Amino acid sequence: MPSATPLRYRVAMPEPSSHEFHVTLDIPALRDRPVLDLVFPAWTPGSYMVRDFSRHIYDLKITGNRHLLPCERVDKLRWRVASNGQPVQVSYRVFAFEQSVRTSFLDQNRAFLIGTSLFFLVDGAQKRPCLLEVEPPAGWLLSTTLPALRGTRHRFSAANYDDLVDQPVEVGKHRQYAFRQGGTRFEVAIAGATNADIARLHAHLRRIVGATGVLFGGFPFDRYLFIIHTLPERGGGLEHASSCTLDIAGMAFEDEKAYQRFDELCAHEFFHAWNVKRIRDQVLGPFDYTGENYTRLLWFHEGFTEYMQAIILLRAGLLTPEHYLKDLGEDWAKYAGRPGRNVTPLSELSFEAWIKQYKPAENYANRAVSYYEKGKWAALLLDIMLRQATAGRRGLPQVFRRLWQSHGRRGRPVTVHEIRAAAESVGRASLGSYFSRYVDGTAELPVPAWLRRAGLTVKARSPAQAEREDRVKARRLQGWAGLSFASGEGAVVKNVIPDSPAWRAGLTFRDEIVAVNKHRVDASTVGKRLADSAPGQTVTITFFRQEILRTTSLRLVRSPERRWSFAINPTASRPHRRMREGWLRGF
């Protein structure tokens, strides 16, 4: 409805130190709707957890014709008002004190506006155009991809509610940068203190943008904005169709690793402008903001993005193959040590993310694994399988390009069958068993075997073998109980691996171990005292379970943990070298 009168949102911040936005929503006369339902989002797309943002609303007033209108609070996120088809004004305040990529924030230095935690939607009028007017304190700048109305700097238009809430606004005295690439304007807003070399961050962003553009053959937007918040600690990123928000640790740029982490986060969120924002499951846009939007594809949208971020950095020259393989070995060691990696299928991990991954119980690590992490390994496996089928010429980048052309660009959602069909046509091979075993099944991902086929040497060493030159240390690393501990002072059990010696001895989550063989221990010494005994020896464990002191004994076994290393195999056969070259260097 191009000529429909827009919904008009106004955001003022007269007292930034109160952390309260003053929001006004003017709803025009909706003649066909005598009763209006005002709905406040329960979640923000890209962050799959119900957060009930309406808990931060105060002083809600609904007026019509200068009179207060009675309204009925239907449930936690819905207000119902009889407007009789007349214009209505809704005013309220939103407390905004959580600094995260998914929530609005306000203090005396800056404001971050993200519509899902700020704006009501009017049920049934979601397709109407929206206007946004921001009233910042004097001297504050605005950065957003929302187009400004002609001749204004603080008034913006959005095609509809979805469009409005998918374009955050950074407000404050942040630094602004811009560059062009292939006809597209890229803007960067950096808010907060940092010890990073800004010119270097900027140069890295350009390379990431360039390599991703090469992969997809251009950009699907005219403007793109990176909003970067520098915080005391890392806070991750959140993708939007034409922008992303990155919460990084501002003062952590003290080594190369910090720049690598920045590169990875940028490449990840930027890749999402295609994978999940445009190449996406049906339920992931337009969204239902009132509750869970269930998808079985998060392993693809997140895990495959996690994998592709490294491929982008390799192609951008920001990561060498040697460095990548070294990281890959360390990451595989972590993954292969996760007891829950083959318990729940990837498709189910995705579906249940709302209630399991983001609300983890004590047993989470034993029953599940992150779909980011397992999805990344599944992506690597598929890339290498496709490289084998095509003598190294084609792989996962081609699958993404194909899905972009066939679906994303045309606004068609993808299904798992279409992802499989795209991969099969790129590899010209059947991939049925890949999907049944690794996506819908729980078979171990045969990553080491496939890495050997892709021209790598793959080594797995026990902790003792890895410390062979120090004989004392090597001997002490052989025994294993199957326990991990929470961070803190006391040796509080975080996890007990199923069927491990500790499991069989009856130890469980939150037990606090106070002595090993009658020797006092805390979080920093419990591992050392356990290592005093060798595999086959029995140790006595004294621990508190709640308030009661107890004793048990367990017999250590040989450690099943492995340290993995992956490296280029210089004597790999020609077909294997071709696969490797295609995987690590080709597009």
| Helix/strand/coil for 212 | helix
SS3 label, residue 96: coil
The alpha carbon dihedral of 566, 571, 576, 581 has a sign of positive
Give the alpha-carbon dihedral of 297, 301, 303, 307, to 10 degrees: 140
Nearer to Zn ion by C-beta: 307 or 566?
A: 307
**Measured between alpha carbons, how far is 416 from 431 in angstroms, rounded to an integer?**
12
> Minimum distance from CB of 500 to Zn ion (Å)?
33
Cβ at position 106, least distance to Zn ion in Å = 26
Length of the chain, please? 587
Q: Give the shortest CB-264-to-Zn ion separation in angstroms.
A: 11
**Which stretch in 19-27, 298-306, 519-527, 554-562 sits in contact with Zn ion by CB under 5 A?**
298-306
Phi-psi domain of 333 (left: phi exceeds 0; alpha: psi -120 through 50; beta: other): alpha
Give the binding range for Zn ion (CB under 5 A) out of 114-122, 248-256, 300-308, 495-503: 300-308
Residues 302-341 that bind Zn ion (CB under 5 A): 302
Of 264 and 302, the one with the shorter C-beta distance to Zn ion is 302
The single-letter DSSP state of residue 409 is G
Binding mask 252-291 for Zn ion (x = CB under 5 A): ----------------------------------------
**Which of 65-73, 299-307, 399-407, 424-432 is the region at the interface with Zn ion (rule: CB under 5 A)?**
299-307
Residues 6+ apart with CB under 8 A from 49: 43, 354, 358, 359
Q: Which stretch binds Zn ion (CB under 5 A): 10-18, 283-291, 301-309, 335-343?
A: 301-309
Please count the residues of this chain forming the interface with Zn ion, following the rule CB under 5 A.
1
> Considering beta carbons, is residue 166 or 302 the nearer one to Zn ion?
302
**Cα–Cα distance list, 536 to 289, 337, 497 (Å):** 56, 21, 18
Measured on CA atoms in the order 265, 251, 49, 74, is the torsion positive or negative? negative
CB of 329 or CB of 375, closer to Zn ion:
375
Instruction: Write out the DSSP string of 55-94.
Output: GGEEEEEEEETTEEPPEEEEETTEEEEE-TTS-EEEEEEE
Distance in Å, CB of 212 to Zn ion, minimum: 14
Of the pair 47, 86, the CB lying nearest Zn ion is at 47
Q: Which is nearer to Zn ion, 302 or 348 (CB)?
A: 302
- Give the C-alpha separation, 218 to 322, whole Å: 29
- Kindly state the smallest distance separating residue 8's Cβ from Zn ion, in Å: 33
CA distance to 34, 114, 122, 575, per residue, from 129 (Å)? 20, 17, 12, 56
Q: Using the rule CB under 5 A, give the single segment among 252-260, 296-304, 309-317, 360-368 that binds Zn ion.
A: 296-304
CB nearer to Zn ion: pick between 261 and 459? 261
Shortest Cβ distance from residue 552 to Zn ion (Å)?
A: 42
Nearest to 107 by CA among 92, 119, 97, 117: 97
Question: Cβ closer to Zn ion: 47 or 508?
Answer: 47
Residue 375 Cβ vs Zn ion, minimum distance, rounded to whole Å: 10
The structure tokens listed for 20 are 């309260």
Q: Which residue is nearest to Zn ion (CB)?
A: 302
Q: Which tokens belong to 429?
A: 């091979």
Could you tell me the smallest distance in angstroms from the CB atom of residue 96 to Zn ion?
23
In the complex, the smallest distance separating the C-beta of residue 51 from Zn ion, rounded to whole angstroms, is: 17
> Measured from the CB atom, is 37 or 302 closer to Zn ion?
302
By beta-carbon proximity to Zn ion, the closer residue of 302 and 352 is 302
Query: Quick one: which segment of 71-79, 174-182, 295-303, 528-536 binds Zn ion (CB under 5 A)?
Result: 295-303
**String of contacts with Zn ion for each residue 408-447, x by CB under 5 A:** ----------------------------------------
Give every CB contact of residue 493 below 8 A, 6+ residues apart in sequence. 483, 484, 485, 486, 502, 507, 508, 509, 510, 511, 512, 513, 543
Backbone angles phi, psi at 484, to 5 degrees: -130, 160
Q: How far is the CB of 244 from Zn ion (least distance, A)?
A: 9
Decide whether 162 or 302 has the Cβ nearer to Zn ion: 302
H helix count then E strand count, the chain: 18, 31
| Residue 112 Cβ vs Zn ion, minimum distance, rounded to whole Å | 19
Q: Which residues bind Zn ion (CB under 5 A)?
A: 302
